[in-house]
Amino acid sequence: MLEKVTMDRFDLRPKLILAFVLVAVLVAVTGFVGYTSVTTVDNQLESVVHDDVAEADAAMEMKYDLESERLALHEVLTGEMEAAEEFRASQADFEEWYTTLAERDDLTKEQQQLLSEMKAEHEEAKTKGEEIIAAMEAGDEERANQQMDELTASTLNSTKTPPASRKTPTRKWKRQSRRRRRRRTIAT
Give how far the C-alpha of residue 31 lies from the chain's centroid of Cα atoms, to the nearest Å: 37
Rounded Cα distance between 120 and 172, Å, is 29
The predicted model gives 17-32 an average pLDDT of 95
Question: Which residue type, as a one-letter code, is found at position 96?
Answer: E
Answer whether residue 76 shows pLDDT above 90: no
- The pLDDT value recorded for residue 141 is 86
26 and 117 fall within a common domain: no
pLDDT: which is higher, 174 or 57: 57
Task: Note whether 27 and 88 are same-domain residues.
Answer: no
What are phi and psi for residue 103, nearest 5 degrees?
-75, -15
For residue range 1-16, list pLDDT tens digits in order.
455 656 667 788 888 9
Instruction: Of 52-66, 113-127, 151-165, give the lowest mean pLDDT range.
Output: 151-165
Q: Same structural domain for residues 21 and 100?
A: no
| Cβ contact 141:135 at 8 Å | yes
What is d(CA 103, CA 120) in angstroms, rounded to the nearest whole number?
Answer: 17
The residue range of the domain holding 123 is 57-187
- 38: pLDDT confidence band, cut at 50, 70 and 90? very high
In a domain, 72, yes or no: yes
How far is the C-alpha of 112 from the C-alpha of 130, rounded, in Å?
A: 27
Can you tell me the distance from the alpha carbon of 161 to that of 155, in angstroms, rounded to the nearest whole number?
10
Please give the residue that has the higher pLDDT: either 6 or 103: 103
Q: For residues 147 and 65, state if they share a domain.
A: yes
- Mean pLDDT, range 81-109, rounded to an integer: 87
Are residues 75 and 24 part of one domain? Answer: no
Q: Is residue 112 part of a domain?
A: yes
Q: How confident is the model at residue 180 (pLDDT cuts 50, 70, 90)?
A: low
* Average pLDDT in the chain: 80
Domain count, the chain: 2
What would the pLDDT profile of 110-131 be if each residue is shown by its tens digit?
Answer: 888 888 888 988 898 898 889 9
Percent over 70 (pLDDT), the chain: 78
User: Helical H runs in 78-140?
Assistant: 83-102, 109-138
